[in-house]
Structures are given as C-alpha cells and as structure tokens.
Structure 1
Amino acid sequence: MQKVSKDMKIGELLRIDGGFAPILLEIGMHCLGCPSSQMETIEEACQVHSTSADALVDKLNAHLAALNA
C-alpha cells in the first residue's frame, strides 16, 4: 500500500485518490485546481495554510487505509 508523505506534491496526491480533495478542502486548501498548488508539497501547503503537516499526513493515510481495508 502506498503511503502519503509530507514531501508528496498536491497534484500527485489527488491523482492517487480524488477522495483526498474533501480532506484538503476541510482545512482551507480551496485552491486545489490552481496550477501552482499542484506543484506544492503537502508540507509547503500546510505552511501556507497554518496547519500541521504531520496531522494532515496522518489523516490522509487513515483515509488510504480505510480504502484498502
């Protein structure tokens, strides 16, 4: 099973599973379709949105685990 990490780009993450979008929107990342956001890492996006990259990665990996259960 693939795991999400802080150095993954937002575009890569959304290509893995579109179900990640609501999780990102929930924390204020409303620019998911913007070309520049596609090239940001999760860690960079979290810095911009003043949120914990570690907490977000945990939540994203929990989503992946639920899909693969």
Structure 2
Amino acid sequence: MVNKDMNILEAAQKYPVISMIFKRHGLGCIGCMVAAGETLGEGITAHGLDADALIEEMNALIKEASAK
C-alpha cells in the first residue's frame, strides 16, 4: 500500500495500477522529472488536490487489483 511519504516513482514502480489515479485527476507526475525526488503527498498537494483522498483512492485500487 502507498502513503504520502512514498516517492512518486517508487510507488508507481511498485504499484503500476496507481497511474490510473494520476491520469483520472489530470496529473502528469509519473512522467515528470521532478517525480524522482518528490513524495506522493508533495506532488499531489502541489497540484492543489487532497493528498489524503487520492492516497485512499490509490490504496483501494491496489487492494482491488491484488484481489484479482
């Protein structure tokens, strides 16, 4: 599962399914060079979005994908 303190790229490599959440919210973080040094919380908040809500959404998707 992911949390706000995880590096964006590391989280995306470990859980590729979360890229769907980034796309859904119009975030290009996965392809951004800054993502290598930024946490999920920092990246999401920098775009004016609720990091806690998106992290929750990501974890729900990870859980759903792992149940298949």
Q: TM-score range by the shorter chain?
A: 0.7 to 0.9
Which shifted more, 16-25 or 46-55?
16-25
2:7 and 2:36 in contact (8 A); partners too = yes
Task: Supply the distance in 2 between the matched residues of 1:22 and 1:49 (Cα, whole angstroms).
Answer: 16
Q: Structure 2: state its 5+ residue gaps.
A: none
RMSD of aligned Cα (Å): 1.3
Unaligned stretches of 5+ in structure 1? none
Q: What is the DSSP-based 3-state SS (H/G/I as helix, E as strand, rest coil) of the residue aligned with 1:68?
A: helix
Aligned match of 1:57 = 55
Other-structure match for 1:28: 26
Comparing both structures, which one devotes a greater share of its residues to helix? 2
Given that residues 17 and 62 in structure 2 are in contact (C-alpha distance below 8 angstroms), is that contact kept between their aligned partners in structure 1? no
1:48 — aligned with what? 46
Q: What percent of counterpart residues are identical? A: 33
Q: How many residues align?
A: 67
Hey, what's the Cα distance between the residues in 1 that align with 2:59 and 2:29?
21
- The answer on whether the counterparts of 2:8 and 2:29 sit within 8 Å (CA) in structure 1 is no
